[in-house]
Amino acid sequence: MSDAEGQRLVTLLADMQEAEALELARRMLDAGFDPVKLLGLCREAMAIVGARYEAQEYFLTELMLAGEMLTEIGAMAKPLIGQARDAGTAAAAPVKVVIGTVHGDLHDIGKNIVTFMLDINGYEVVDLGVNVPSKAFIDAVREHHPAVVGLSGFLTLAFDAMKDTIDAFRTAGVREDFRVMIGGGQVDERVMKFAGADGFGQNAVEAVSLCDGWTGRARHAG
């Protein structure tokens, strides 16, 4: 299998050519291409997608389609990974981020985009879903020891729920173990102070910047 084909896969994925990209990925795997390497190519393509999103060439629709393509290729490649050699790519332990939509709120589009952008920027994201009670956040930080916790919310009731969750971190004695970022809907600096968070972001790019700043990581590592 040639490097040219791999490069073509990266280009097709980055250019949102879904049908062609999936067909090529399938053909490469059928011909015995290393599935771990294939996922590496996907990651390379997603970094391009992320950069185009930051440059405002791509928007939500492109990120969503990229996520779909990644899921499809993952479903093809992952069952084959057990049969392949261990690529030994897991070098340094990745920085973890725990994320979720706070209790009372069921919205997840913004949270999913932040998760996607953090993931393609090399973070290991533990996504707790929507309507997440404070206790579930506390259980998750005790289990995963994240560097950052992301609280998402679209409705105005989320302001109180974010504050409750951060207060609960304090009561549980874990507040100082990580940074807390908030985002979504009408979240702004005033809400950040009200809730007692360390930072806020108005989009997924800002969320990645916050994490990079706090963890001292270079952009697009991973």
Q: By the criterion CB under 8 A, which residues form the site for another protein? A: 16, 18, 58-62, 64-65, 68, 104-107, 109, 155-157, 159-160, 185-188, 190-191, 193-194, 203
CB of 163 to another protein, least distance (A): 9
Nearest residue (CB) to another protein, 19 versus 90: 19
Nearer to another protein among residue 141 and residue 191 (C-beta) = 191
Closer CB to another protein, 69 or 95, in the complex: 69
User: Helical H runs in 31-92?
Assistant: 35-54, 60-81
Angstrom distances, CA of residue 139 to CA of 18, 128, 209: 38, 11, 26
**CA–CA separation, 188 and 146 (whole Å):** 24
- Collapsing DSSP to helix, strand or coil, 23 comes out as helix
Smallest distance from another protein to CB 117, Å: 12
Q: How far is the CB of 216 from another protein (least distance, A)?
A: 28
Minimum distance, C-beta of residue 11 to another protein, in the bound complex (Å): 17
Residue written as tokens 């009561």?
Answer: 171
98 φ, ψ (degrees, to nearest 5): -100, 130
